[in-house]
Amino acid sequence: MARFDVFRNPNPRASHQLYLDVQSDLVSTATRWCIPLLAAKPEYPVASRAQGLLNLLDDSYVMDTPNLLSVPAALLRHPVGRLGPQEQALAEASIEFMLRGY
């Protein structure tokens, strides 16, 4: 598994359908830091700088960075996508904003 890979959430009842792995590949643990990805809905605005909008798998998703999760690595076996350089920068910026406020 690699940083910025996208995985399906195996729980069909969860509010987030996808996980975005954002943990450094230099750190190997039983869990991985992941940003939950929520299906984008027009009635729910995206929080500027704390969240970001991604187009993946022919759909739009919101990076719910304020709710960063530790996900068991065993659940992250088969990536369904990977962020490109622009989306990676957006993910890093939202994490930076949550940690430092700028």
DSSP 12-56: TTSS--EEEE-S-TT---SEEEEEEEEE--TTSPPPTTT-EEEEE
Give the Cβ contact number of residue 51 at 10 Å.
23
**What is d(CA 74, CA 77) in angstroms, rounded to the nearest whole number?**
6
The full set of domains in the chain, from first to last, is 5-100 (2.30.30.110)
Closest alpha carbon to 1 in 9, 23, 16, 17: 23
What's the pTM? 0.92
What pLDDT, in 10s, does the model give residues 25-80? 898 899 999 999 999 998 888 998 999 999 999 999 999 999 999 999 999 999 99
